[in-house]
């Protein structure tokens, strides 16, 4: 079952790709996907791996939060999690852990 969010994330990818002045082919070349695969991602017709999203955001010079920002207001669970992290005395620990995960995925 296709989720509405898949289409919206695809639209976000297309918007930031165009903003960066990249064709689907050039973006695909930079992250190891074909032009057709990029097209599928942008149309929300292909599921993403986290590593693919990280590569995309690195090439497009945005972060994952920016990519998912359109859902910030509509996804109450995400909002609750963000609020918990923001108000947690262990906020820096959570941020460091997330950064460690991102760094480890760059190495692969």
pLDDT means per 10 residues, the chain with 108 residues, are 73 93 97 95 86 92 82 64 79 80 69
Q: Do 3 and 56 belong to one domain? A: yes
Q: Do 64 and 85 belong to one domain? A: no
Do residues 38 and 26 touch, judged by C-beta distance below 8 A?
A: no
CA 59 to chain centroid: 11
What is the number of domains present in the chain? 2
Token couple for 94: 């959570």
Q: Do 79 and 39 belong to one domain? A: no
Q: Is the pTM of this model over 0.75?
A: no
Domain enclosing residue 31, as ranges? 1-69
Do residues 9 and 67 touch, judged by C-beta distance below 8 A?
A: yes
What CATH number does the domain containing 5 carry?
1.10.260.40
């Amino acid at each position: 079952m296709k989720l509405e969010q898949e289409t919206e994330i695809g639209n976000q990818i297309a918007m930031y790709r165009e903003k960066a002045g990249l064709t689907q082919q050039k973006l695909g070349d930079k992250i190891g996907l074909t032009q057709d695969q990029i097209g599928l991602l942008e149309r929300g017709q292909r599921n993403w791996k986290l590593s693919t999203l990280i590569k995309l955001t690195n090439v497009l010079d945005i972060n994952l939060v920016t990519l998912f920002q359109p859902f910030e207001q509509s996804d109450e669970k995400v909002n609750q999690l963000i609020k918990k992290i923001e108000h947690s005395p262990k906020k820096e620990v959570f941020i460091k852990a997330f950064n460690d995960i991102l760094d480890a995925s760059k190495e692969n």
